[in-house]
A and B are shown apart, each in its own frame.
Chain A
Amino acid sequence: MSQVGLSGLGLYVPAHRVPVREIGQAWGAGGRGEKAVCGPDEDVVTMGVAAAEAALAAANRRPEEVDMLYFCTTSSPYVEQTCAALVAEVLGLRPEVVVQDLGGSTRCGTGGLIACVQGLQAGGGKVGLVVVADNRPAAPGSALERTLGAGAAALVVEAERPAAVIEGWACYGRFFPDRWRATGEAFVRGDYDPRFVRRHGYTEHLARAVETLAERVGDGAGDFRRYFFPLADERLPGETAGRLGIPRERVATDTFPRFGDLGSASALLQLAFAGGEPGDRVVLAGYGSGLADALALRFVHSLPVRPTPEGVDEGARRLSYAEYLRVQGLLATEGDYPLAVPPGSQTFWRGRGEILRLEAARCDRCGYVNFPPSTRTICIRCRHTGLSRVRLARTGRIHSFCINYYMPPGFESPLPYIVVDLDGGGRYQGMGTEFAGVRPEVGMPVELVLRRISRERGQSTYGYKVRPRLTAREG
């Protein structure tokens, strides 16, 4: 096989964390560790975008260079509507790029990676982007409520300068219903008999995939330095290691007690946190519904990862159980306050450049940056009609703000509203996010992040909000 491999990895873990004991106490139980959960304005699209942008930065690749995109999730906001095309739109990929929405089970992360490698090897392009995100809902009071978490990872895949070469892969799959969520159902179900499912579902299929992989790349199953298995619960790695005859400590497990079961993104986030030294050979695996993938990676040099995993807890906030139920949307409200114009209407289509990519129109004559460009076709300063598209900076400082105290459902309340002086000039104005416990101040460093701003008639609408800048993540 040619030397296709990973050249950059982006990760995203939400700032909202729930101590498992906090959940357990509501139901008369205990619990260990924490899980990460989406904030009220986050979903797999916003997380995936953040991870994808970070991956491209890590790999030093521009969106225009991407030839294929795989968006992989089991918790899309839609049964029918693409998320891949929306992510492509936000990133600014070329319209002729092949984009695919993958799902079906939590195996789809590694499944998307394999498909991407196959696509590149078949001559479909030079650079691929695999974006994996999950935000799986659990029923209150269920065992899964204590484990299902949210997070995203993205990989830039290419043959030109991989940091970790993919030496081979193997799949092993037979249909095995262990966890599922039917169309129209609100929560993931499963684990009818946990011991049976662990042994004959997860462990059996994953182990066979690893054994097959080992044969293919000419090794014993136990010969790898590290194993990145999906962490669906804390017992699984041990059982699988035993079945394969590998030392338990080689199976990376630390993301589970911190963030919970991250579904299709689980093993990729483990890879992000553990990394590898030049020469290391590791196994990256995925599993869901009886389908298992195992890929062998060999590190040429250390894999660029953004943001730095050490900074992932910066700005993290622990939620009470009641707050958790609210942000999960499990407390019935009257519904989001309507948008000024209906979602999907002409205003959103005409304005997609500014709404999704913060595009502006710079005057060719006086240099003034007009925003938003769909409503500014003449320079507002000098009236010149020659304007060129540019993108606003994503970082800046607070110029002024206010805090709204009476907001209806669908808004955070109190809601900070921020006017930002952008780095390099110009301003942005928009809703604040993740300011709980933080008092905005004139001059405070902030950044613009894509978040869901509304869900109306089933259609999610996204836009940029203003968040306190997390500098520890920048390394």
Chain B
Amino acid sequence: MAWNQVAIVGAGLIPFGELFDMSYEAMIQQAYLRAIQSVDKGMDPEEIEAGWLGTCMGSMMGLEIPGGATVAGTIGLVDVPFTRIENGCPTGGDTFRNACLGVASGVYRVALVIGAEKMRDKPAGESLLGIAGQGHPVFTRGMLAPSMFAPQAIRHMHEFGTTKEQMALVAVKNHYNGSLDPYAHFKKPVTVEEVLKSPPVVYPLNLLDCCPQTDGAAALIICRADLARRYTDRPVYVAGFGVGCDYLYYTEKGSLTEFAATRRAAAQAYRMAGIGPEDIDVAEVHDCFTITEILNYEDLGFCPKGEGGRFIESGRPHLSQLGGTLPVNPSGGLLAKGHPLGATGIAQLAELYWHLREDPDVANRQARLNKGYALQHNVGGYGIAVSVVTILTNRL
């Protein structure tokens, strides 16, 4: 039996990219407007009773410790309780989960969930190195963001024979999907050869194995499930969610060929939704790097352990219109759409909301629906120690 106590009734996002002319607040305002305007039967902003804001690294742009109040007033909701959630790269997903808990508690009937990140007010190279300044001053000195994934690639290649070509196929799939998504940062297909020839960033990852540094914002409107029909005849319900943790340091992690946090989060979400991986029609997973998506297939149960490289080769995670049976990242994923940290999870949920309702927003990449379940996934945070999985459904 799925949880289904909360429904999504509105979704909106701004096109992701290098948005030098948009401030953090302006991005949030535009995403909020699109979300509220998307509600089928209309919604008066006065009906919003609480807000949750997901921003991971607000202080990267000089805004020290952004809080919920940073945005409440700027969107005309200064009367509303507003909280900021931060949990690494899964900030967006966890912000959504916390908002759902707030609505499910019965205290708030309707809530606004916003994810936003302004990454390009710093040079792209500095964001990459900014991660190197975190963690332990001696033991993790020298690590860049991809250094938290590249050793997993080396180990997966060593234990299962995964190849750089197989990793490149993930980038090819997602950059093609991004070319169909008007919100994507990159809208140009790439070839395997282009990926393999792109400059090395952190061996064995080349530039096109990595997601870009992106600005973006996304917003969702949620309400108690029994009130959903007031706003739409096609609500999408939250069937389940989970948050998994892991140790931060390589000295404490177990196997480097998986992200234990993802496994834990997925187990919780599947149990709460009362389903298994075979019931998922479409998924938006965390492909910050190509190798991450390969591990995600395994950690989320889409294929057996070690088979991730063969899974992408099989074509199964491609778009339905290309013969895929479990489209993964129809939006273009983090690789092509971008990864504005706090916005990513919210944007993934917006994409899945459109697929489950068969909205025109995704007509050119619609996933074929069988069971009516979709899965959203993030993994990351310092040390890649936290994961969020959310399962949505279009049926009660």
Q: Which residues of A contact B (CB under 8 A)?
A: 337-341, 347-348, 351, 355, 371-372, 380, 399-408, 411, 414-415, 417, 419, 426-431, 442, 453-454, 461, 463-464
Which of B61-69, B176-184, B227-235, B247-255 touches A?
A: B247-255
Sampled A-B contacts (22; CB under 8 Å):
A337-B132, A340-B136, A340-B137, A340-B141, A348-B137, A399-B155, A399-B250, A399-B256, A400-B151, A400-B250, A401-B154, A402-B154, A402-B203, A402-B204, A403-B203, A404-B201, A405-B199, A405-B200, A405-B202, A429-B249, A454-B141, A463-B138
Contact B251 A371 (CB under 8 A): yes
A380 in contact with B251 given A348-B137, A399-B256, A401-B154 (CB within 8 Å)? no
CA A419 to CA B203, docked complex, whole Å: 14
Nearest CB of A to B142, in Å: 4
Closest to B207 in A: A405
Nearest CB of B to A379, in Å: 12
Contact B201 A453 (CB under 8 A): no
Nearest CB of B to A76, in Å: 22
CA A464 to CA B139, docked complex, whole Å: 8
Contact B250 A463 (CB under 8 A): no
Contacts of A417 in B (CB 8 A): 142-143, 147, 151
Of residues 185 through 234 on chain B, the ones whose CB sits less than 8 Å from some CB of chain A are: 199-205
> A341 contacts which of B132, B137, B250 (Cβ < 8 Å)?
B137
Contacts of A399 in B (CB 8 A): 155, 250, 256
Contact B154 A400 (CB under 8 A): yes
CA A340 to CA B129, docked complex, whole Å: 11
Contacts of B247 in A (CB 8 A): 380
* Known contacts A401-B151, A402-B147, A463-B141; 19 further A-B pairs (Cβ under 8 A): A337-B133, A340-B133, A340-B141, A341-B137, A400-B152, A400-B154, A402-B151, A402-B153, A402-B202, A402-B205, A403-B150, A403-B200, A404-B144, A405-B200, A405-B202, A417-B151, A429-B249, A442-B155, A461-B137
Contact A372 B136 (CB under 8 A): yes
Contact A429 B140 (CB under 8 A): yes
> B201 contacts which of A371, A405, A408 (Cβ < 8 Å)?
A405
* B134 on the A face (CB < 8 A): yes
Closest to A345 in B: B137
Contacts of B143 in A (CB 8 A): 404, 417
Nearest CB of B to A114, in Å: 37
Closest to B132 in A: A337
CA A417 to CA B249, docked complex, whole Å: 13
Contact B147 A427 (CB under 8 A): no
* B274 on the A face (CB < 8 A): no
Contacts of B138 in A (CB 8 A): 351, 355, 430, 453, 461, 463-464
Nearest CB of B to A420, in Å: 9
A339 in contact with B202 given A372-B136, A427-B251, A428-B251 (CB within 8 Å)? no
Q: Which residues of B contact A (CB under 8 A)?
A: 125, 128-129, 132-144, 146-147, 150-155, 158, 199-205, 247, 249-252, 256
CA A355 to CA B137, docked complex, whole Å: 10
CA A370 to CA B147, docked complex, whole Å: 23
A411 in contact with B142 given A338-B133, A400-B154, A406-B201 (CB within 8 Å)? yes
CA A463 to CA B150, docked complex, whole Å: 23
Contact B251 A429 (CB under 8 A): yes
Contacts of A351 in B (CB 8 A): 138
Contacts of A419 in B (CB 8 A): 151, 250-251, 256
Contact B139 A372 (CB under 8 A): yes
> A337 contacts which of B129, B136, B146, B151 (Cβ < 8 Å)?
B129
CA A213 to CA B158, docked complex, whole Å: 64
CA A431 to CA B154, docked complex, whole Å: 16
Contacts of B252 in A (CB 8 A): 371, 380, 427
Contact B142 A415 (CB under 8 A): yes
Closest to A407 in B: B142
Interface centre among A337, A380, A402, A453 (most CB of B within 10 A): A402
Closest to A422 in B: B251
Contact A405 B256 (CB under 8 A): no
Nearest CB of B to A376, in Å: 9
Nearest CB of A to B383, in Å: 11
Contact A340 B151 (CB under 8 A): no
CA A442 to CA B159, docked complex, whole Å: 10
A402 in contact with B150 given A380-B247, A426-B251, A429-B140 (CB within 8 Å)? yes
What are the 4 A-B residue pairs with the smallest beta carbon separation, nearest first? A402-B150, A403-B203, A463-B138, A400-B151
CA A405 to CA B198, docked complex, whole Å: 13
Contacts of A347 in B (CB 8 A): 137
Contacts of B199 in A (CB 8 A): 405
Contacts of B137 in A (CB 8 A): 339-341, 347-348, 461
Contacts of B141 in A (CB 8 A): 339-340, 430-431, 453-454, 463
Interface centre among A355, A400, A411, A419 (most CB of B within 10 A): A400
CA A341 to CA B256, docked complex, whole Å: 28
CA A314 to CA B201, docked complex, whole Å: 30
Interface centre among A408, A428, A429 (most CB of B within 10 A): A429
Contacts of B132 in A (CB 8 A): 337
Closest to B200 in A: A405
A402 in contact with B251 given A372-B139, A408-B129, A453-B138 (CB within 8 Å)? no
Nearest CB of A to B94, in Å: 23
Nearest CB of B to A384, in Å: 16
Contacts of B150 in A (CB 8 A): 402-403
Closest to A408 in B: B129
CA A351 to CA B141, docked complex, whole Å: 15
Contacts of B136 in A (CB 8 A): 340, 372
CA A362 to CA B114, docked complex, whole Å: 45
Nearest CB of B to A320, in Å: 23
Nearest CB of A to B384, in Å: 13
Interface centre among A337, A348, A408, A417 (most CB of B within 10 A): A417
Closest to A426 in B: B251
Nearest CB of A to B281, in Å: 35
CA A399 to CA B146, docked complex, whole Å: 17
Contact B135 A340 (CB under 8 A): yes
Contacts of B139 in A (CB 8 A): 372, 429-430, 463
Contacts of A402 in B (CB 8 A): 146-147, 150-151, 153-154, 202-205
Closest to B134 in A: A340
Closest to A375 in B: B136
